[in-house]
Structure 1
């Protein structure tokens, strides 16, 4: 008979906010009661959950800062009593040649398991079209560097060979667990990993084409102190704890409170998926576009957006406020403002709008984009989230803890169906069901 542990079993560190909720969603689906913190909590007070996810904003900051923040998160998770640790990054392996996936994985592996340890690196998420074969990452039917990610404004991905990408980021030797081994099951994967470890490999890209492959990898890594990857590979971890008699059933893992109040959609991502979602919303619903150049000139963009929202709230209409733009439009803004300033300006503007909307009675927020989500939750003073049921693959409903909760859907830019915004609002309206 299995029973739920009184202390957290799995401690996770995510390099952005929507990636954290994506991972937490996967764990909840596996029956793990999951709490997500926004940044490293200041208190060591015990948290009641099966899994803890610390959401950092470390994907694009200097590597040394990303390492320091990740190690601080690891220290907190250790203090909570976690038995195993997971470093989560994007399913499109978003990074630069300088990091931050390699440096952070190196530091966490050293801290968790020592010099001779080995971990896997597997960003595969088949449910969202991310698969890995012979070490190459596919998005749908095309290689990563042909998927649109080559145009990402902060972390353009121009190489689909993940062994090569990761090796450029780390002095550790990088290897490959080919599909040949994965297809033969967990025992074959363990044998391959041991061969790689003896050969001096510390990080191994792992092929995966299906959820069954992710379950195989999870089982093969049951005894690893550290696992790294996208949220997909976490699909196999709850079963490990259940087999060990440490985790109970799945019935109440996704329960959230029902939140009353107004609703809004905020979008800052420039991804293809979010552009399509914005276009779908604008076909029949009210939307207000943020112009970063106008904001840079000091025009009252925040006040204009709030006035637009106030007008439509009178008719009980949720609105979309967005800075989403095409790659060509993004390049125009970046040429004038610089990439870093342009990104920060959009985040700060949407965060200020979120704060103003809260004052107008908005309690349900759908937010598109990892950086945007991070800025919004900080502006709203959100510290911890309980994770609920899935809205679309990789995107769960969430609710803040405390007496006056907010309902949030924090979406990675690349995730969600074309009608995601309307679907998410319907879901948050009935989050208790």
Structure 2
């Protein structure tokens, strides 16, 4: 497909995606919305009735929870989800993954998701774009890097991801990492090949009837736009792509070069509110710093006692205790934050296996129960306190909380930290319709993130 014939959008949707967790799903929505591509994120398979309420939408997402699930769960659940999205007719169907590629053969297998998803689209290749410079993620010769506080790390040496409690990254070469999860052929368009006039010819040598995964390096804005051009021009009759929001950033960079989206992307700015309610199930050091900031800057910060929250005899009392703390704070126009852990070295994180064992739960069951407890805290807080803006930190926690709130869909209301916009909830429940919610991944945001959400603008 030549650039001359590519310089216009097809009718209908441009992209449909399934997010492997809720925070990543809003990250992808933000990337498209900021570029001027109207996007809707659904919490269940989008129905014609729901989509009819948003006639201008060009991208539709479905928020999922597969990042923490088994391959068997994927076999049972993803075919229906992918088929429903493919039926919407977008030329690109995406399995949206985290930009730190969280996955293993047993948990959140990206390889298994690809093997399921390629059946839904006719393409002879499956592009993979993981690098996203705006999120400080970079891929070179197939190896993934991430920057923290201005210092770049190969993923297998990253201070958080190399120590992730469920899916630690012990291999930065994504070809090697992914090969542990799928027998599918895996190719690469590296940044040198991408910059050459022969990138499309190189791609054609990799294409097969049984579609291979083809990783595309992204190091900077130039390679980002080049990756977007390659995917868009070589999409054919439709492709399936397991990619981070780097795919959204790449496509919109290419569309911007063609003049299809505004030259200066941006999102509205939110106004301040007196107080917000927040819960956090994140174990990351970034979130730990944000919890400390909140404690030092006027938030009522309260730890959820995991032993009591996971014990069937004391769970109700512990959840109710945390709810009451939150409600008391909000009644004084003081923001509240209930958290389950404060960084990877928190004693409850280091001793989580023992805590789970005492509750007669597996580690995975216990982790899900923590998310459920935080969901109950947020749900009951919203039922009893006048609060219009909330935050949930942690990918798994966000899924548990958001799915319990009776929300049908989200759209972007305002910009916040890169990767975590302030969203507007759409719901048939008047009490939830219009709720403002930010879903924050563990690695997202400055120390003042919770304060920024309260202020409706980024704080220094």
Shared fold (TM-score, shorter chain, > 0.5):
yes
Match of 2:33 in 1: 28
Match of 1:112 in 2: 121
Match of 1:400 in 2: 425
Match of 2:195 in 1: 183
Q: What is the alpha-carbon root mean square deviation over aligned residues? A: 2.8
Q: Identify unmatched segments of 5+ residues in structure 1.
A: none
Cα distance in 2 for partners of 1:142, 1:345 equals 32
What is the DSSP-based 3-state SS (H/G/I as helix, E as strand, rest coil) of the residue aligned with 1:221? Answer: helix
- 1:314 paired with 2:325, answer no
Match of 1:280 in 2: 293
Match of 1:358 in 2: 382
Contact 2:323–2:378 (Cα < 8 Å) also in 1: no
Shift of 1:81: 3.2
Cα distance in 2 for partners of 1:171, 1:383 equals 37
- 1:390 paired with 2:415, answer yes
Contact 2:184–2:212 (Cα < 8 Å) also in 1: yes
1:72 to 76, 80, 103: 80
Where does 1:288-299 land on structure 2 (aligned, <5 Å)?
Answer: 288-297=302-311, 298-299=313-314
Cα distance in 1 for partners of 2:134, 2:264 equals 23
Contact 1:347–1:371 (Cα < 8 Å) also in 2: yes
Closer/same/farther in 2, CA of residues 325 and 205 from structure 1, 3 Å limit: same
Match of 1:418 in 2: 447
Contact 1:373–1:410 (Cα < 8 Å) also in 2: yes
Contact 1:121–1:227 (Cα < 8 Å) also in 2: yes
- How high is the TM-score relative to the length of structure 2? 0.84
Match of 2:279 in 1: 266
Cα distance in 2 for partners of 1:142, 1:248 equals 33
Match of 2:146 in 1: 139
Cα distance in 2 for partners of 1:244, 1:132 equals 25
Cα distance in 2 for partners of 1:145, 1:25 equals 28
Q: Identify unmatched segments of 5+ residues in structure 2.
A: 1-6, 357-361
Closer/same/farther in 2, CA of residues 6 and 173 from structure 1, 3 Å limit: closer
Closer/same/farther in 2, CA of residues 67 and 362 from structure 1, 3 Å limit: farther
Q: Deviations over 1:210-264 (max 9, x none)?
A: 132121101111032223211023113236567889x665999956998988521
Cα distance in 2 for partners of 1:319, 1:93 equals 32
Closer/same/farther in 2, CA of residues 253 and 150 from structure 1, 3 Å limit: closer
Contact 1:15–1:55 (Cα < 8 Å) also in 2: yes
Closer/same/farther in 2, CA of residues 362 and 63 from structure 1, 3 Å limit: same
Contact 1:259–1:406 (Cα < 8 Å) also in 2: no
Where does 1:32-431 land on structure 2 (aligned, <5 Å)?
Answer: 32-41=37-46, 45-47=50-52, 48=55, 49-98=57-106, 100-113=109-122, 117-140=124-147, 141-147=152-158, 148-184=160-196, 187-197=197-207, 202-222=212-232, 223-224=234-235, 225-238=239-252, 254=267, 263-285=276-298, 286-297=300-311, 298-299=313-314, 300-328=317-345, 329=347, 330-337=349-356, 338-359=362-383, 360-402=385-427, 404-427=433-456
Shift of 1:200: 7.8
Contact 1:400–1:406 (Cα < 8 Å) also in 2: yes
